[in-house]
Amino acid sequence: MRELSYAEAIREALRQEMQRDERVFIIGEDVGVYGGAFGVTLGLVEEFGEERVIDTPISELGVVGAMTGAALVGMRPVGEIMFMDFITLASEQLVNQAAKIHFMFGGKEKVPFVLRTPAGSGTGAAAQHSQSLENWFVHIPGLKVVMPSTPYDAKGLLIASIRDDNPVVFVEHKLLYKVRGPVPEEPYTIPLGTADVKREGRDLTVIATSIMVQRALQAATLLAEEGIEAEVIDPRTLKPLDKETIIRSVIKTGRVLIVHEACKTGGFGGELAAVIVESEAFDYLDAPVIRLAGRDIPIPYNRTLEYHTVPQVEDIVEAARRLAQGRV
């Protein structure tokens, strides 16, 4: 199968959905000629024109407000927020309007849009351009939250998100844009709420999100050389969450390590831990549920400090080794 980068897979999903459905359009700051903050929408304005690839003023609130209004009259907008940090500026429209309209109108109205946003550290972009805020939006009823970790997943999940009748926050890690992998040419969907077992194992379960899936897989390869077989689970969508796949894996291995980049306090790892201990998997645990997450500090500009602020491959190896050996 041919290979595409993560960014190319997203661009192809956008192109194919815009070709399939004239209601789909792109909106955001510099998404046109500039091609988006990270070049994901390059070439689409030349193909579809300025009425379907819309450059906006610098107003995240305005972008999401326009998306909400357009979705209410039958369109399917795909917006881009340059950095996830700036989604804070759009929260009134996203949290108080788009997320609640379907409920408050008794199901008679729907708000089908996708809000794409690059997140995470690793580019030296400092504290105001490097945050992982996904769990803020997991907390909001009415929103769906998607975090693909591979090019294949990015294309299939984005197409599914565009076709979904709910507002979807689609989180793309900056360091994944250049990652390459097999991607079918034809359109396909991955149902939201479907986790993926990225690697089978018997000794412990590693549940990871976004860039941490790639690091967990690298760590699992190193652990296998020591005779420790880690099973790597990628939820792919944080909301809806595929609890069954996670619980099944934990019952199988008896040990679980949760890895994410966002700050540990209030991060998605806490929700995953609660899901596990509130389920039948609790009786199969041979060790406490362990969370490995970002430090509770702003992301530093200094690249060495930035590196040590969030989990790296060696951190996952050490935490998994200790857990497998009962040293927790």
Structure tokens at 147: 């975090």
* Of residues 235, 238, 230, the one with CA closest to residue 206: 230
Tell me which residue has tokens 């979705």. Answer: 71
Which one of 129, 139, 173, 308 is the catalytic residue?
Answer: 129
Alpha-carbon distance of 154 to 116, in angstroms, equals: 11
Structure tokens at 23: 């209601």
Alpha-carbon distance of 43 to 51, in angstroms, equals: 14
Phi, psi of 95 (to 5 degrees): -85, -45
* Of residues 155, 145, 253, 143, the one with CA closest to residue 207: 253
Cα-Cα-Cα-Cα torsion 247, 252, 253, 254, nearest 10 degrees, comes to: 70
- Strand 144-146 to 237-239 pairing: antiparallel
Concatenated DSSP letters for 229-274? -EEEEE-SEEES--HHHHHHHHHHHS-EEEEEEEESTT-HHHHHHH
How many helices (H) and strands (E) in the chain? 12, 14
Structure tokens at 320: 């998994």
Q: Give a three-class secondary structure readout of 17-47.
A: HHHHCCCEEEEECCCCCCCCCCCCCCCHHHH
Q: Residue 180: enclosing H or E segment and its boundaries?
A: strand 180-182
Q: Is 260 a catalytic residue?
A: no
Catalytic positions? 129
